[in-house]
Amino acid sequence: MVKKELRIMYKFVTGFALIVIILWGCKDEMSKTGLGLLPTGDLVSVRKHTIDKEKIKAYTVTDEKQRTDETASNLLGSFNDPVFGKTTTDFACQFRLNSYPDFTKNAQPDSLVLYLYYTEVYGDTITPQKLNVYELASDLSFEEKYYQYVNLKGLSYGELIGQKSFLPKFRLDSLSKVYGSTKKAPKDTIIQEIAIKLDQKLIQKLMTADTLTMSDNVKFMKYFKGLYVEAGNLNTGGAIMKIYTVAGQNSKGIGSYLVLHYHNSEKDSLYYSYAISSNAARVNRFTHDYSTSRFATSLDKRDHLDSLIYLQTTGGLASKIFIPTLSNWSDSTDCAINKAELIFQVDTILTDTTAMKLLPPPYKVILSAIAEDGSLYFPSDLGFSQAYFGGYYYSKDKTYRFNIAKHLQEMIAKKKGKENYGFYLSTDARNTIFRRVVLKGTTSKTGIRLDITYSKIK
């Protein structure tokens, strides 16, 4: 029985091997099967084409103004960037009641403290920051739109009610289990606290509010409109901190508070917290001074093509990119775009790409197309996925890359609304984090390039 099975297996293996040999010998002929049935012009070949820096124009512009209301975090501080000049960020916010406060039993105030929390510092940690606190005199509206140049000091009383000088801190937590942090390679950032004691007059105002005012948040916020935290002026150094204002809207689960510490005839160490909730208005102010920067004289000038282009969050800087021959680059329209990769190279001298990344570049940049009326829209390629479209920072070769294959195909096909008016390159998360990056411009040795892979019908 065993011998019979072996004979059958031998015949099967021998026959299979013979078939493979025959087919292998015929593979060249089989690969040509049907070619005689196709017209000569129907053959397809894959080609590559590069639009290099000589045919691309790019210049730095002032970014569009940013909305700054109701963000989950707020930026605070003054930073003199050696490349980008000075940026100042500060904010105002409302506070809401958590419950009805119990100021009975001969309650007596001890202190009123504004607690601000942060984990991120962009800049140095050796220059003292000075913060000034004012009470708001005008209402902040949760429904109103606010933009980066809002005059928050003009919405406040002129009297200073709190002041704090401090050194920003940045430390990594080796004991945390978050992000795989270890003693040898700590990764999770320790939460830092800024505590600012406020004036006695505001304490009295809060503790002597009547029952009707303290029974309803709308009435309370009319009575106490909130606070404006101003970053003091710095002429050198400095930093910008990302303040966690609203609890529950960040991975840390932390938020900032105004806390009234008090005691009564029965207990010591009592406190009442006024929260910055998601329903409280929060507004940032961003200002930039580029007068000391190397690009100050060329900013917003289309006829000046620099060897570098500059991007910055907080409504700072962006770039306009023009490729005049983009819509007619091919020798005919009988082609299908497989891939069109627009590549921007980071300048590693003026951008911190080291492992420490004290001034890290943006995690992602945004590429928009410019319409005929000057408005912006996203290329169709983003509809596939963000990963396909690109824009992320690649640390391996220090680049940002975008695939605009479908957008280019639509331009070649002269699809309405997809005409070639250029691109707008800006940073991601422009109103919630502080980042900046310097890229190689079209007149640099590296430049900007567009690599196109397409299928051509012969």
How confident is the model over 130-161, as pLDDT tens digits?
999 999 999 999 999 999 999 999 999 999 99
* Length of the chain in terms of residues written: 458
Closest by CA position to 91, among listed 251, 287, 360, 362: 287
- The predicted pLDDT at position 329 comes to 67
Q: 50 to each of 185, 339, 375, 405, how far by Cα in Å?
A: 42, 11, 28, 13
Q: Which residues of 284-299 are buried (b: 16+ CB within 10 A; e: fewer)?
A: bbbebebeebebeeeb
pLDDT-flagged residues of the chain (< 50) = 1-41
Q: How far apart are CA 328 and CA 84, in angstroms?
A: 37
Other CB atoms within a 10 A radius of the CB of residue 140 amount to 22
Q: How far apart are CA 291 and CA 163, in angstroms?
A: 29
State phi, psi for 411 to the nearest 5 degrees: -70, -45
- The predicted pLDDT at position 6 comes to 40
CB 330 within 8 A of CB 49: yes
- The predicted pLDDT at position 2 comes to 39
Note the pLDDT tens digit of each residue in 357-396.
Answer: 679 999 999 999 999 999 999 999 999 999 999 999 999 9
Q: 79 to each of 233, 245, 284, 384, 403, how far by Cα in Å?
A: 9, 20, 16, 39, 35
Q: How far apart are CA 446 and CA 448, in angstroms?
A: 7
Residue type, 298: S
- The predicted pLDDT at position 12 comes to 43
Beta bridge partners of 49: 452
Pairing of strands 449-457, 436-440: unpaired
Other CB atoms within a 10 A radius of the CB of residue 189 amount to 19
Q: How far apart are CA 160 and CA 17, in angstroms?
A: 92
- The predicted pLDDT at position 333 comes to 60
Checking phi first, is residue 54 left (phi over 0); if not, alpha (psi -120 to 50) or beta?
Answer: alpha
Beta bridge partners of 283: 69, 92
Note the pLDDT tens digit of each residue in 65-99.
Answer: 999 999 989 999 999 999 999 999 999 999 999 99
CB < 8 Å & 24+ apart, contacts of 261-264 = 261/109, 261/110, 261/111, 261/112, 261/113, 262/103, 262/107, 262/108, 262/109, 262/110, 262/207, 263/107, 263/108, 263/110, 264/104, 264/105, 264/106, 264/107, 264/108
